[in-house]
Amino acid sequence: MKKKDIEYGIIGLGTFGSNLAKNLSRAGKEVLAIDQDENKVDAIKDYVEEALIVKSLDKNVLEEAGIQNCHTVIICTSKDTAISVLTTLNVINMKVKRVLAKANSDDHGAILEKIGAEVIYPERDMADRIGNMLTNSRSLDFIKLNGNVSVTEFRIPSNLIGKTLKESKIRDKYKLNVIALENDDETTTIADPNHIFKEEDYVVVLGSDENIRAFEQEYLNE
């Protein structure tokens, strides 16, 4: 029996994959999350539509899990380049509409791009890749996901400097999920609510385009 269609599939539940799965779910999106580690699957199962333990990332196993029924699949297994590339190729060959893959180096990313994936670098110095664009804009669409959901990076505006992440109400008021904090060429993917914003801080958030625009209108249009 064919499994139902689902919006997002996430393969690999490390820090980035788990946070992405939770944030998409909080944004009201259906998520299928899979990993070979039972503990990681158990930790995410209450947050997503479906969480599955798989014995491998072979094409047949991915098909049994229902990855081919996802509109967008994000491959978050990047530590082993060979596994990452083969898994990405398997998903692409399953005719998934949109495939994104996490890369841990330029060479890794080049291979992923060559086989047809959109490449993301969540754990490296994002400022190096987008610095020129940031000098012209306080806010930048970093990844455009399905529908009206985007991942956006912005520099902390002056009226939030000195406040904590919790005090900024980025999540409570604007329903934006912080997935990374950047400062002094360092990127942290676990956002501390007590982090005090400094002048050179950058924040990467995930949320609906409507909520992102509302935040921009209040804080970034200075």
Domain of residue 68 covers: 6-120
The reply to whether 200 and 106 lie within a common domain is: no
Of 62-71, 93-102, 116-125, 174-183, where does mean pLDDT reach its minimum? 116-125
The reply to whether 72 and 55 lie within a common domain is: yes
The reply to whether 47 and 99 lie within a common domain is: yes
H helices of 79-171, where?
A: 81-93, 106-114, 126-134, 165-168
Q: Which of 73, 102, 120 is the last residue of a domain?
A: 120
The reply to whether 90 and 196 lie within a common domain is: no
**What integer pLDDT is reported at residue 189 of this predicted model?**
67
Longest dimension (CA), the chain: 55
140 has a pLDDT exceeding 50: no
Count structural domains, the chain.
2
Put simply, whether the predicted model's pTM sits higher than 0.75 gets the answer: no
d(CA 60, CA 53): 14
Specify whether the CB–CB gap between 34 and 17 falls below 8 A: no
Amino acid present at 73 = V
d(CA 100, CA 151): 13
**CATH for 23:** 3.40.50.720
Q: Mean pLDDT across the stretch 127-154?
A: 54
pLDDT tens readout for residues 173-209: 888 888 878 777 677 766 788 888 888 888 888 888 7
17 versus 132: the higher-pLDDT residue is 17
Specify whether the CB–CB gap between 189 and 122 falls below 8 A: yes
**What integer pLDDT is reported at residue 145 of this predicted model?**
61
